[in-house]
Amino acid sequence: MKKFALLFGAALSLVVVSCHKHDDEKDWADGDLGTLEMEFDSRFGDDDFALGTEYTTAHGETVKISKLQYFISNIVLHNEDGTEYVIPQNDSYFLIKEDKAGSNLLKISNIPAGNYDHVEFTVGVDSLRNTMDVSQRTGALDVGGDAAGMYWSWNSGYIFFKIEGESPSAPFDSTLNGNFWWYHIGGFGGMTSKTINNIRTLELELPQEAGHDHGTAIEIRKDGDPHLHLFTDVSKIFGGTTAVKIAENPIVMFAPYSVEISKNFADVFKIDHIHQ
């Protein structure tokens, strides 16, 4: 069955690739709508990622991660023809939790048919939504539901990216009887006074090297079922633009250093490939 599916997939992509060669020929009609599934696949460098597994950071610190969750929002698909499709805002908030199966699969529908070659999204929650009425905070944003633990109630605002764990590099906590570190990254810039802003918007391109069964654009078609496979490389939280060392910064929450950590989001996320 699996072999058959592979063969079938390969055959299908051959068809797609061959269609793609004829630049003038559109194999869709104006007004067609399609869907896209975006998968955020956690990795640690070249390894698959799992909570509770020991990894070594770029700085030689060993870490075991017990919690990983983050918001992805405000997704925009950029078409090859220069136009863009903005996912309706109310449908554009996703909270990915490593320990919640399926939360890393973002299903987007009603996308105008076409070829999209890069994707834009925000890691976190935009400042406007951070200031909206509670009636506009449902689903992934429900502070009494899914978003519990991803919200600072004493300093109104969502936590955008939360990662916690243990490491011998963290100081020993006698109350908790262990060496723990916590990175809770948030801060939308402040309501009335300007303060830290960790809203990071990324634009990721599809890999453009000639892939065998992978295209170089997301091909949204009426009957298509494209699946965009993204990597969330957790190792880059420590070893990205900013060298983040647990020994130096074991606890980072609402503090200036969080801005240095959020600079690494651009290194954490990348598109690996597309299945059409």
Chain residues binding other proteins by CB under 8 A are 131, 133-135, 137-138, 142-145, 148, 151, 153-156, 190-196, 254-256
Q: At 166, which amino acid appears?
A: E
| Least distance between other proteins and beta carbon 174 (Å) | 18
- Of the pair 53, 136, the CB lying nearest other proteins is at 136
d(CA 72, CA 91): 11
| Least distance between other proteins and beta carbon 186 (Å) | 12
d(CA 159, CA 183): 10
| Least distance between other proteins and beta carbon 160 (Å) | 16
- Of the pair 135, 177, the CB lying nearest other proteins is at 135
Q: At 274, which amino acid appears?
A: I
| Sign of the four-CA dihedral 114, 86, 68, 195 | positive
- Of the pair 110, 136, the CB lying nearest other proteins is at 136
Q: Where are the alpha helices (DSSP H) in the chain?
A: 2-21, 127-130, 235-238, 257-262, 265-268
- The helix or strand, by DSSP H or E, that contains position 62, with its residue range, turns out to be strand 62-79
- Of the pair 202, 255, the CB lying nearest other proteins is at 255
| Least distance between other proteins and beta carbon 221 (Å) | 38
- Of the pair 190, 207, the CB lying nearest other proteins is at 190
| Least distance between other proteins and beta carbon 130 (Å) | 9
d(CA 40, CA 168): 29
